Structure 1
């Protein structure tokens, strides 16, 4: 199919972009990896595309207090290879590296992956395990949300996701994924961070959306993080937490989530040894 009719604007500054996004039917264009195919198939609608790809303030990786600040227009390829991210938020780097193929990673953005609605993507689950926050700019000014809140409610209408704020963890974090062979989206993905208070564990693909699994975290608090202990912790979760589909059962997905979490915890332990 061909693209439907829409208007196009390329604002020179973020404030101009926000003013344009107040137009009914306006959509943000960044990497375009999901939006443009959706417009071609009719799955997405837009009356105005607001192209923010040239706004320098939305790019780059640096430090902000005790966190890493990852600009929303930072590409997945840049995120996967950045020395600060590799050293201090390795689950984010691994999640970015797991996205699609090199062409997708060179065009796709951190913000677009985090804000994707209607499908499981890789960065949200890593952001949840990292206890990250997102910066937003909107009609009421600048604000922040937890990554958990963003996963539950999405980006507010008329707002732009400007950055991801990730507490530095060092190497005690990891990401594992079982990908759908056709789409490379996660059939199931798990991200972990091991903290002095216990592990933080998040899963996506097997669940309705990216979720922190606090019940599993509580059962594993104090260790051990053996495969047997992790799988037992997942078996205690309600089966309805896991959503069957694509030829898989809830039981299978719950087991797969446990296996991937066990692998991630083992990888995090090896990284700190």
Structure 2
């Protein structure tokens, strides 16, 4: 049962969808619906403005689907499902942390309905794909009233999707096998208690965590301490112990000290797997 009254429209193309979003202050994009629909059922989803809530259904727009190789890496359409992302040969070969994050998300029903764009759009909640996108140095492509633009995955995790804009794609450089993702999940919700994603680049490791922190976050201080290796568990844990304790936010019965340690353990596992893939 859905407790919120709303209007529904199914635009024929992206431009019509953007026009509809711009014309109603109470409009929301409906893609996979794995975050929006539960909020409508419980009444937790709040619509902006005084207009009647309007769901703009973009699920059928083929222009927002698919994975393709580009000169700079991969372009992943926003409506690509998490199940498709987890199994796609290009993603498995060139962005394995994204495939692993998609595979770790929820259960099969969630992965078959949830989309890459929808997972990236949930700012302020610990989800799997944003942390992998940050580690991958990903750019999120947006379409809105002002035209097309891009924002870093890291910035999107902080600001959320701009009003009246739609995520159209995730752009990531190719990493080969030198990337990995690790997660400890809440048993009830499958959201991460903590998740870590890494890439090993010629300039050093890129490391991002979520769940243990207030938002998906790149840990530049840890990266600097581990530049040049080694990626032993002891070295990684020491790098994490040097981080400010207030960085890690206690919750769900866990302390900041525990979460900082857990983040270090998961990061060490991910770095060791990525490093082994380079050997």
Matched position secondary structure for 1:161: strand
Higher mean C-alpha displacement, 62-71 vs 209-218: 62-71
Cα pair 2:11 2:58 within 8 Å, conserved = yes
Within-5 A mapping of 1:15-34:
15-22=15-22, 23-34=24-35
Q: What does residue 40 of structure 1 align with?
A: 41
Is 1:4 the counterpart of 2:4? The answer is: yes
Q: What does residue 130 of structure 1 align with?
A: 136
1:33-88 superposed Cα distances (whole Å, 9 cap, x missing partner): 11001011011034000000011110000012222000000000000000000000
Q: How many residues align?
A: 273
Q: Tell me how far apart the structure 1 counterparts of residues 4 and 158 of structure 2 sit (CA, whole Å).
A: 30
Matched position secondary structure for 1:192: strand
Unaligned runs of 5+ in 1: none
Q: Tell me how far apart the structure 1 counterparts of residues 230 and 208 of structure 2 sit (CA, whole Å).
A: 18
Cα pair 2:124 2:158 within 8 Å, conserved = no
Runs ≥4 in structure 1, deviation > 3 angstroms? none
Q: What does residue 90 of structure 1 align with?
A: 96
Q: Tell me how far apart the structure 2 counterparts of residues 118 and 153 of structure 1 sit (CA, whole Å).
A: 9
Q: Tell me how far apart the structure 1 counterparts of residues 134 and 125 of structure 2 sit (CA, whole Å).
A: 16
Is 1:110 the counterpart of 2:111? The answer is: no
Q: What does residue 50 of structure 2 align with?
A: none
> TM-score, normalization: structure 1?
0.99
1:65 equivalent among 67, 71, 75: 71
Q: CA RMSD in A?
A: 0.8
Is 1:166 the counterpart of 2:175? The answer is: no
Q: What does residue 265 of structure 1 align with?
A: 271
Q: Tell me how far apart the structure 2 counterparts of residues 105 and 156 of structure 1 sit (CA, whole Å).
A: 25
1:214 equivalent among 196, 220, 226: 220
Q: Tell me how far apart the structure 2 counterparts of residues 179 and 61 of structure 1 sit (CA, whole Å).
A: 27
2:162 equivalent among 151, 156, 168: 156
1:54 equivalent among 54, 60, 63: 60
Matched position secondary structure for 1:69: strand
Q: What does residue 236 of structure 1 align with?
A: 242
Cα pair 2:75 2:171 within 8 Å, conserved = yes
Matched position secondary structure for 2:149: strand
Higher mean C-alpha displacement, 38-47 vs 202-211: 38-47
Cα pair 2:123 2:159 within 8 Å, conserved = no
Q: What does residue 188 of structure 1 align with?
A: 194
Cα pair 2:123 2:158 within 8 Å, conserved = no
Cα pair 2:79 2:117 within 8 Å, conserved = yes
Q: What does residue 82 of structure 2 align with?
A: 76
Q: Tell me how far apart the structure 1 counterparts of residues 149 and 37 of structure 2 sit (CA, whole Å).
A: 28
Matched position secondary structure for 1:163: strand
Matched position secondary structure for 1:188: strand
1:129-178 superposed Cα distances (whole Å, 9 cap, x missing partner): 00010100000000011111111101000000000001001000000000
Cα pair 2:139 2:153 within 8 Å, conserved = yes
